[in-house]
Chains A and B, each alone.
Chain A
Amino acid sequence: MQTLNQALFIFFAVLAVASAILMVTRRNIVHGAVFLITTLLSTAGIFLLLQAEFLFIVQVILYVGGIMVLFVFVIMLVNLDVSMRQVQFNRQWFVAGALALVLAGQFLFAIWVGRGALRLPAMASEISPKNTEAVADALFSHYMLPFEIASILLLVAMIGAVVMAKRRAG
């Protein structure tokens, strides 16, 4: 069972990283979107390996089934022939690359420093039947305030979008 979990983890991890790289390097943005979907799905698979089935399903429903459908919808309205001929990376790519390197260095340093003390909590041995309830319990009691702040933020964004659309229309 342990080796199966390992194999599945490696499969999902490689798939996630590979499709993330392919997503930014593809010229065709629809292909890019498909690779982003693959990345999101493999991340969902890793959630499932960690026995976090509610997170898994939320990842699939919200990101893959909701947000990415809208992404693809918008992408299809873009003129592909034009976008294929545009420059794919702008001139500041080396700044971004340097920043990414610094970030990677920081991560490696942190892991190196904490290599003895860094202990992740043990993985749940099996899916708890109360997984969904546990998430709801944490969200609505312990993390009530951040949860409400996030929902108000979303509400503000939504109202803002409606106001902007209304102004343009009328």
Chain B
Amino acid sequence: MGHLIPPSIMPFVLPVLYAVVIVAVLPLLAGYIVLMERKVMADMQARLGPMRVGPHGLLQPIADAVKLLLKEDIIPDKADRLMFWFAPLVSVTMALLAYSALAIGPAFQIADLNIGLLFILAISSLGIYGIVLGGWASNSHYSLLGALRSAAQLVSYETAAGLGLISVLLLAGSLSMKDIVQAQLDQGVWFGFSVPFGFFIYLVGSIAETNRAPFDLPEAESELVAGYMTEYSGFRWSLYFLAEYANMIIVAGIATTLFLGGWLRPGARYHEHIPGTGIEWLDALPALLTLGVALYSLKLAPTQPVKIQKIVMVLVAVLCLGVACVLAGALFAPPAVMQGIHGAFWFMAKVFAYIYAFLWIRFTFPRYRFDQLMRLGWRFLIPLALVNVIGVGVAIVLRQQFAWGPIVSLIPTTLATLGVAMLLAKDDAPVAEAQTAAGE
């Protein structure tokens, strides 16, 4: 195939292919995250969740998508028509654009920018215009209030989350996603373990930035109907929805790359081989895991009530078996191919673990009140993040001057930040009580 493509456009072929794959797969992925959300919620509330469309609701996302596309598209009479049309596009375009710098495994990345992280942060922060302009263009009080809340919330928590990320940048010394992962391999520790407070601050900040519960005030249904999305329906509404879930994957991807070792497998520096082969023990793990899922769904198939559901369940098993075969086959492929495939597996596994944490938090915490949200951001997270950044700076000096190890040098920082966190929480408690009592 190489001779068919002129050499001048050769470097663009793979990135374009990746971009097409991402744009094509993402809506499906978002749909299945919604299903995952409903299933996890049902599990935590001791219900079954969607069960009717496909076995265990596995085809529910497709049914939902068809329903959304067939819905009537309504534009309010006094809306700003152009802006109303334009706003969801901004949200979804910016969410998709941010993927171009995300490294899903060492091979699967559209562009390895040396400002990669800044690019993702910048582009994904532009998605706010979709929300703000959409809320304004709807010409409805609920929408406008949702948009205003969203803008205030984003500006507040972006600062805290950005400061949380800076602690990692200091340790990695680079903004390129690949170099950050490489730095974690070199230092032998995922940054989430060496700077736990940076991770915590980013976790909270990223929930607020993606407008997820308990910080989903821009769309708080008990107060604002649906916030900025109140007047939207059908396809436009689903664009907002897609953008929200795409942003969730983006922040999960950033957290994975910066704090959870990116595409590195657990124990990346442990190289014990299976006797008699060149395969490492831990590299067999992905194939075994997917094989387990395949066997489990095969076991579930006969228990399905309807014949068609049995067939779909077997198809799922076959799909998982195929993935397992690819993962196992990759073990015998050249190292670059193997690391590309397994890297993508580990990256996606970590992204989904992070999203699971999002859902867990969503169904565990009640929604914050707006003043509580602001207080948490400005009076707790930002001072804590500043202390953390200074502490990481001190740790780097300790490492350089006294040759302390990458983990040991950060222990004093973590302890100091913990102390400050407790002080801040203690200091804030009387104020919070007084404000609640005053009915603010």
Contact = CB atoms under 8 A, between A and B. Distances in A.
Contact of B125 (A30, A61, A72): A61
Nearest to A34: B133
A65 B122 contact: yes
B132 A61 contact: no
A69 interface: yes
A156 interface: no
A76 B147 contact: yes
Contact of A30 (B118, B122, B136, B175): B136
B155 A69 contact: yes
B119 A72 contact: no
Interface string A75-97: 01100000000000000000000
Interface string B176-216: 00000000000000000000000000000000000000000
Contact of A65 (B115, B125, B175): B125
B225 interface: no
Nearest to A130: B114
B260 interface: no
A69 B148 contact: no
A57 B132 contact: no
Contact of B144 (A34, A54, A76): A76
B115 A53 contact: yes
B151 interface: yes
Interface string A30-51: 1100100100000000000000
A72 B151 contact: yes
A60 B113 CA distance: 16
A6 interface: no
A66 B118 contact: no
B373 interface: no
B136 A69 contact: no
B113 A53 contact: yes
A114 interface: no
B133 A77 contact: no
Contacts of A65: 122, 125-126, 128, 158
Contacts of B147: 76
Contacts, number: 65
A132 B115 contact: yes
A73 interface: yes
A131 interface: yes
A69 B115 contact: no
A66 B122 CA distance: 9
Contacts of A31: 83
B115 A57 contact: yes
Contacts of A129: 114
Contacts of B114: 53, 127, 129, 131-132
B133 A30 contact: yes
B108 interface: no
Given A30-B133, A76-B132, A76-B144, A69 B122 contact: no
B128 A69 contact: yes
Contacts of A54: 115
B129 interface: yes
Contacts of B293: none
A61 B121 CA distance: 8
Nearest to A41: B126
B129 A72 contact: yes
Interface string B128-139: 110011001000
Contacts of A64: 122, 126
A60 to B, nearest CB: 4
Given A69-B154, A69-B155, A73-B151, A61 B118 contact: yes
Given A65-B158, A76-B144, A131-B114, 5 more contacts: A61-B122, A65-B122, A73-B132, A77-B148, A127-B114
Interface of A: 28, 30-31, 34, 37, 53-54, 57, 60-61, 64-66, 69-70, 72-73, 76-77, 127, 129, 131-132
9 contacts: A30-B80, A34-B133, A57-B115, A64-B122, A69-B129, A73-B148, A76-B132, A76-B148, A131-B115
